[in-house]
Amino acid sequence: MHDILSDGGVVLWVILALGAGEALVFFERLLHMRRAAIDYPDFLKGIRTILGRGNDSEAVAICEDTPGPVAALVCTAIQHRHESRHAIREAVDGTGRAELSRLERRIGTVATITYTAPLLGLLGTILGIIETVLAMHKQVPLVDASQVTQGLLQALITTAAGLLVAAPGYAMYHLLVDRIDRITLDMEAAATEIVAFLTAPGDAPAPAARKEA
């Protein structure tokens, strides 16, 4: 292993550093999304029950204590429940955009490293070939095989390293995107349901009964 690291040159160390950073970002984002994903039908059922009792403050407190974008959307809708349907929807959509931005944070880093690693591997390959050609040019007509193979080793090692970082990185990126898509669908469904519940005719407070003269 030590020989591989030393033969790979500087480019190999750069690729390995990027691969380590990619893995750290992936696991941090994966844990964040696991916390963000909740069983929203059960969550909404409980919120609707609490709102049906007229306890808005308790519903808001539960939403604030529940992690994830779905709870944030529901909390926003409750806080604007006495406004028009359009105003509630606008507020919920604004919260949804902010929450989606938080979910997508640093996802581009994984994609960038995934696309960059093979290019760095190609760069290492070219540098290794250049080193080989220069060694052969200096030693003609008697070429030292050890000097020639040094450049070829660097070329092969950096190419392999670039692919080893890019292949799992590609899978990591699409796994995160798939998680985001699922959470986004839950957000849209939860937003539609809570807005419909809050703006239903039966949800409005009944007018006070007129006293008999």
Task: Please tell me the total count of domains within the chain.
Answer: 1
User: What is the pLDDT, as a whole number, of residue 145?
Assistant: 66
Confirm if 170 and 21 have CB atoms less than 8 A apart.
Answer: no
Structural domain contains residue 140: no
User: What is the pLDDT, as a whole number, of residue 209?
Assistant: 40
Structural domain contains residue 136: no
pLDDT in tens, 8-26: 778 889 999 999 999 999 9
Structural domain contains residue 28: yes
User: What is the pLDDT, as a whole number, of residue 7?
Assistant: 66
Structural domain contains residue 212: no
| Structure-model confidence comparison of residues 138 and 133, the more confident one | 133
Residue ranges making up the domain that contains 74: 7-118+165-201
Tell me what percent of the residues of the chain surpass a pLDDT of 70. Answer: 85
56 pLDDT higher than 90? no
Structural domain contains residue 188: yes
Q: What is the DSSP string of 131-197?
A: HHHHHHHHHTTS--HHHHHHHHHHHHHHHHHHHHHHHHHHHHHHHHHHHHHHHHHHHHHHHHHHHHH
Give the model's confidence band at 156: pLDDT under 50 very low, under 70 low, under 90 confident, else very high: confident
pLDDT in tens, 30-46: 999 988 888 888 999 99
Q: Which of 5-9, 64-68, 184-188 has the lowest mean pLDDT?
A: 5-9
pTM score, two decimals?
A: 0.79
- Residues 6 or more apart whose CB falls under 8 angstroms from that of 50 comprise 58, 59, 62
The alpha carbon of residue 31 and the mean position of all alpha carbons in its chain are separated, in whole angstroms, by 10
| Structure-model confidence comparison of residues 145 and 116, the more confident one | 116
Give the model's confidence band at 143: pLDDT under 50 very low, under 70 low, under 90 confident, else very high: low
Structural domain contains residue 66: yes
| 117-143 average pLDDT score | 81
